[in-house]
A and B are shown apart, each in its own frame.
Chain A
Amino acid sequence: MKRFAITAALATVLGASAVLPAQAQESLTLKKIKDTGAITLGHRESSIPFSYYDDKQQVIGYSHELMLKVVDDIKANLKLAKLDIKLMPVTSANRITLIQNGTVDIECGSTTNNLERQKQVGFTTTIFVIGTKLMAKKDAGIKDFADLAGKNVVTTAGTTSERLIRKMNEDKQMKMNVISAKDHGEAFLTLETGRAVAFMMDDALLYGEIAKAKKPGDWLVTGTAQSKEAYGCMLKKDDPEFKKLVDASLTKAMTSGDAEKIYAKWFMNPIPPKGLNLNMVLSDEMKAAYKAPNDKAFE
């Protein structure tokens, strides 16, 4: 990206403004960032370890760190001396609207790239691949989805897991009671207080919840993955120029090995708030995503 930025700078200096700046001006998002000297980043509050608050109420996480890298590249590309970063917490329920109405310029958290959402927003290169699984108490005897028949199960409202489990409940007549909690933290609270026997969610987030549990040793992640999902950053649809810039930045991070270092920091090392290690080894899907970055949805 640095080379790209230098080329861009040179091109402008040499007066070859016919190509690059003209294109850059087509992007409303980039124009807005340039005019206001500020960019608004959407982040999550409790998506551990992707995007969440540490105990000092600072936003941290794997996705957030990648997003900050992208911001650096945007700043360099637009040749801005100073770029104010505004942080805006988003939820599963409002993130799409906030991207659409331009409140948030880019959101990197734990948002699944799927075809339905692609009708409303744009997605960048995939930053993470997860499987939807279950978390349960070690001694509860829950091994897989079949063990949930007739029981209370919690998931987070507005997620793919919610859709999958409701559909499974209908299709297989499992008579589960599905509780939809407002966010991952509340879903885990529902599990922890015994209102539900299992919590269905993206595996990485489940490990994240274990990391902040009172007794991390009591919980396990289990079950056959019901779906694979690609996380991407969201940005406005129909802004190819902005997407190109962000994608190039993410691709560079992935192929250069930076992304894998960030991965190791958040998934293979102790992380805040409890200093717990998630011990999630880099999956084959993730290796493939780093090797050949792409923005394809799994469904």
Chain B
Amino acid sequence: MGYQWNWGVFLSPSASGDDTYLGWMFAGFKMTIALSLTAWVLALILGALVGVLRTVPNKTLAGIATAYVELFRNVPLLVQLFIWYFVLPELLPTSIGDAYKQSHPVMQQFLASMICLGLFTSARVAEQVRAGINSLPKGQKNAGLALGFTLPQTYRHVMLPMAFRLVVPPLTSEFLNIFKNSAVCSTIGLLELAAQGRQLVDYTAQPYESFIAVTLSYVLINVTVMTLMHKFERRIAVPGYIGGK
């Protein structure tokens, strides 16, 4: 199809003259990692909290948690991102909103992306945590209560230590997803891996080299995550349960 391959493009000086295109790709790679990891921390904390709340006997608390999960899980990620980035600053008082919008654009883009990815993924983490808690035999909770533990104590000392270990394998796939979903953030101009790849295409008209490099970078990230998580899963697996021996 008349394509001119040129792998040397990565080493040629970039259009702005201060770096090579490889440097651009690496900057995007670092941005993807930073964004995904911070969003993942947010997702784990919120997800664990909401997941636990979904299983408590208190109807109001469980209802709020359910609403949270349904809201963040059922609105498309892209729509959520646009709401965080474009809509929310308009709802702030004018002076605060304007000051925020005049701040450094990368900070705004990163913040919106992190919150968006973090909350979206937290809803999915919450579902996994809830499933983990519900998969425990009823007897465990009853035994804890019968021993004189309060409900929070039963969660803290009996159920959660088990449940969290059980949900590690499904959480691995959410962890992988967050890296892949982070590519959506290129749509608001955040220069992460996918966006840098696209920029490279725009500037050099070498789409195949660029997309191959981007693909391999995502593969590298995900293979690394999978290997590490696999080791972790083996260490914490509960004997007699899924994944345990």
Give residues in A with beta carbon < 8 Å to B: 92-93, 96-97, 100-102, 116-117, 119-121, 152, 157-159, 162-163, 166-167, 169-171, 177-182, 189, 193-196, 236-238
Whether the Cβ atoms of A195 and B15 lie closer than 8 Å is no
Asked if B199 and A157 sit within 8 Å, CB to CB, the answer is yes
Residues of B within 8 A of A157 (CB): 189, 195, 198-199, 202
Q: Is the CB of A120 within 8 A of B199?
A: no
A-B residue pair count with CB separations less than 8 angstroms: 85
In the complex, what's the smallest C-beta–C-beta distance from B93 to chain A, in angstroms? 14
User: A152: which B residues are within 8 A, CB to CB?
Assistant: 102, 104-105
CB distance from A30 to the nearest CB of B (A): 16
Whether A177 pairs with B105 at a CB distance below 8 angstroms is yes
| Cα(A189)–Cα(B101), bound, Å | 12
- Bits for B200-243, please: 1 = Cβ < 8 Å to A, else 0: 01111111000000000000000000000000000000000000
Q: Are B2 and A177 in contact (CB under 8 A)?
A: no
22 A-B residue pairs with CB within 8 Å: A96-B205, A102-B1, A119-B4, A120-B3, A120-B4, A120-B206, A152-B102, A157-B202, A158-B201, A162-B202, A163-B16, A177-B104, A178-B105, A180-B189, A180-B191, A180-B195, A193-B86, A193-B89, A194-B97, A194-B102, A195-B105, A195-B108
6 new A-B contacts, CB < 8 A, other than A163-B203, A182-B189, are A93-B198, A116-B203, A179-B105, A194-B98, A195-B101, A195-B102
What separation, in Å, do the CA atoms of A193 and B88 have in the docked complex? 11
Interface residues of B, Cβ cutoff 8 Å to A? 1-4, 15-18, 86, 89-90, 97-98, 101-102, 104-106, 108, 186-189, 191, 195, 198-199, 201-207
Identify which of B4, B15, B17, B101 contacts A194 (C-beta below 8 A): B101
Evaluate contact between A177 and B106: CB separation under 8 angstroms. Answer: yes
* Bound form: Cα–Cα A163–B207 in Å: 17
CA distance A120 to B206 in the complex (A): 8
Q: How far is the CA of A137 from the CA of B207 in the complex (A)?
A: 36
A286 to B106 Cα, complex, angstroms: 38
A101-B1, A119-B4, A180-B189 given; A167·B17 CB < 8 A: yes
For residue A92, which residue of chain B has the nearest CB? B202
A residues less than 8 Å from B186 (CB atoms): 182
